[in-house]
């Protein structure tokens, strides 16, 4: 607890009473000695004793007041020290709490850093797999392009051989050689998964695989709206139709060539 502050005294209040008391004591002592002893020497001694008593009454109150003021200041300093000590304890408690919180946050930060490193590793692995996938797709596309280019060359060669066989006036030797080359080419196409679509006379119309160019007079044994002639072969790879076969159908009654 803080002590009550001491009210300061004015100079007249602090020194007037002891001064008056010292003067009275000096006079009384001197008169008493002179009256009792009737001697000037003893009177002088009494005067000195009065002076001593006067000095005692003058100095003692000031000394006591000074000591009281020092004690008050000491009480104030002790109270201030106690307050600062309490503040220091509060600061220490806050520091300990902050240190504990900092350690907790440090642990969480290390845990999060571990998770981030793990995620970074997975992300790098994912990027690597993505690059491999992109490279595989590019390789597949290049292979597909090469396959399509090869198929186009084989199909064009097949069409050329078919056009040669459709021409008139070929020698038997040339016709036989061309037929063997066409058969060999068709076997090669089948080995690569590319099958020709070439319907024969009398085959029913399949709109999925056949493209009708027109109608012609029906031949013997060919029903109406059935294939009577294949102009150009089609091709398919498995269930995928790459090109439909171009055909003519047997005409019905009232139809002429070129009408579908």
Residue 1 is predicted with a pLDDT of 42
High-pLDDT (> 70) share of the chain, %? 73
CA torsion 80-82-83-84 (nearest 10°) is 90
Model pTM score: 0.46
> Are the beta carbons of 13 and 62 closer than 8 angstroms?
no
**Band of the pLDDT at 8, cuts 50, 70, 90?**
very low
C-alpha distance from residue 62 to each of 13, 68, 243 (Å): 12, 10, 130
Q: Radius of gyration (Cα) for the chain, nearest Å?
A: 66
- For residues 240 and 258, the model is more confident at 240
Q: How far apart are CA 189 and CA 157, in angstroms?
A: 11
- For residues 49 and 237, the model is more confident at 237
Indicate whether 133 pLDDT > 80. Answer: yes
**Band of the pLDDT at 218, cuts 50, 70, 90?**
confident
Residue 12 is predicted with a pLDDT of 44
| 237 DSSP β-pair partners | 240
> Are the beta carbons of 184 and 154 closer than 8 angstroms?
no
- For residues 26 and 112, the model is more confident at 112
pLDDT average, residue stretch 4-23: 50
- For residues 260 and 193, the model is more confident at 193
The residue among 149, 246, 134, 127 whose CA lies nearest residue 196 is 246
How many angstroms separate the first and last alpha carbons of the chain? 120
Residue 237 is predicted with a pLDDT of 87
The residue among 246, 242, 244 whose CA lies nearest residue 148 is 242
Q: Which residue, chain included where needed, has tokens 């440090």?
A: 106
**Band of the pLDDT at 135, cuts 50, 70, 90?**
very high
Residue 10 is predicted with a pLDDT of 46
Indicate whether 248 pLDDT > 80. Answer: yes
**Band of the pLDDT at 27, cuts 50, 70, 90?**
low
Indicate whether 202 pLDDT > 50. Answer: yes
The residue among 141, 154, 249 whose CA lies nearest residue 193 is 154
Residue 249 is predicted with a pLDDT of 92
Q: How far apart are CA 236 and CA 257, in angstroms?
A: 28
pLDDT average, residue stretch 103-130: 90
pLDDT digits (tens, 9 = 90+) for 60-84: 677 777 777 878 888 888 888 888 8
């Amino acid at each position: 607890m803080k002590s009550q502050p001491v009210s300061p005294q004015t100079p007249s209040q602090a020194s007037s009473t002891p001064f008056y008391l010292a003067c009275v004591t000096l006079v009384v002592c001197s008169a008493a000695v002179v009256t009792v002893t009737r001697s000037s020497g003893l009177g002088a001694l009494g005067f000195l004793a009065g002076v001593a008593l006067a000095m005692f009454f003058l100095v003692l109150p000031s000394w006591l007041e000074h000591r009281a003021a020092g004690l008050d200041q000491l009480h104030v300093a002790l109270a201030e020290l106690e307050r600062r000590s309490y503040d220091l304890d509060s600061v220490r408690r806050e520091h300990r709490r902050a240190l504990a919180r900092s350690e907790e946050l440090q642990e969480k930060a290390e845990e999060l850093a571990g998770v981030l490193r793990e995620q970074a590793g997975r992300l790098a692995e994912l990027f690597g797999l993505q690059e491999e996938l992109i490279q595989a797709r590019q390789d597949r596309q290049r292979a597909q392009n090469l396959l399509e280019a090869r198929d186009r060359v084989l199909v064009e060669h097949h069409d050329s051989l078919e056009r040669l066989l459709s021409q008139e006036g070929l020698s038997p030797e040339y016709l036989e050689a061309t037929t063997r080359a066409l058969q060999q080419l068709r076997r090669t196409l089948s080995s690569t998964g590319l099958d020709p679509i070439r319907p024969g006379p009398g085959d029913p119309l399949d709109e999925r695989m056949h493209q009708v160019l027109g109608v012609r007079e029906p031949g013997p044994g060919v029903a109406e709206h059935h294939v009577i002639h294949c102009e150009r072969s089609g091709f398919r790879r498995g269930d995928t139709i790459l090109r439909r076969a171009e055909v003519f159908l047997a005409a019905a009654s009232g139809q002429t060539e070129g009408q579908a």
